């Protein structure tokens, strides 16, 4: 699948998920990734990552990806904090065995 088609679908599905339930941190994070990486709309991406983390402060993926957009916006210290938070959350999840559930 071409990259443009993949990002178009990712945006479409994230928006559909949010239309059904705007309290899904995964959908906000997915939309943020498209806005960040594909659209380069860093302001909107940061807003979506922040909303995802407001909904679930323990969502490691949102912290991890948020650190990227913070870094490209010159917020290195906050980016490092987010990256370290993601790492710690992921370590806790791995130690608890939750990473293998499913």
From first to last of the 102 residues of the chain, give the pLDDT tens digit: 899 999 999 999 999 999 999 999 999 999 999 999 999 999 999 999 999 999 999 999 999 999 999 999 999 999 999 999 999 998 876 543 444 343
Distances (CA, A) of 99 to 15, 26, 66, 67, 76: 27, 16, 21, 22, 29
User: What value, to the nearest 5°, has the Cα angle with vertex 52 and ends 89 and 96?
Assistant: 25
What's the pTM value of the predicted model, to 2 decimals?
A: 0.85
């Amino acid at each position: 699948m071409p990259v443009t088609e993949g990002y178009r679908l990712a945006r479409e599905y994230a928006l559909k998920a949010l239309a059904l339930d705007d309290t899904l941190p995964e959908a906000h994070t997915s939309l943020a990734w498209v806005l960040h990486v594909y659209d380069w709309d860093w302001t909107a991406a940061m807003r979506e990552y922040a909303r995802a983390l407001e909904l679930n402060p323990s969502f490691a993926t949102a912290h991890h990806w948020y650190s990227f957009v913070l870094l490209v916006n010159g917020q290195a210290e906050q980016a490092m904090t987010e990256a370290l938070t993601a790492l710690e959350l992921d370590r806790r999840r791995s130690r608890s065995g939750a990473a293998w559930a499913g």
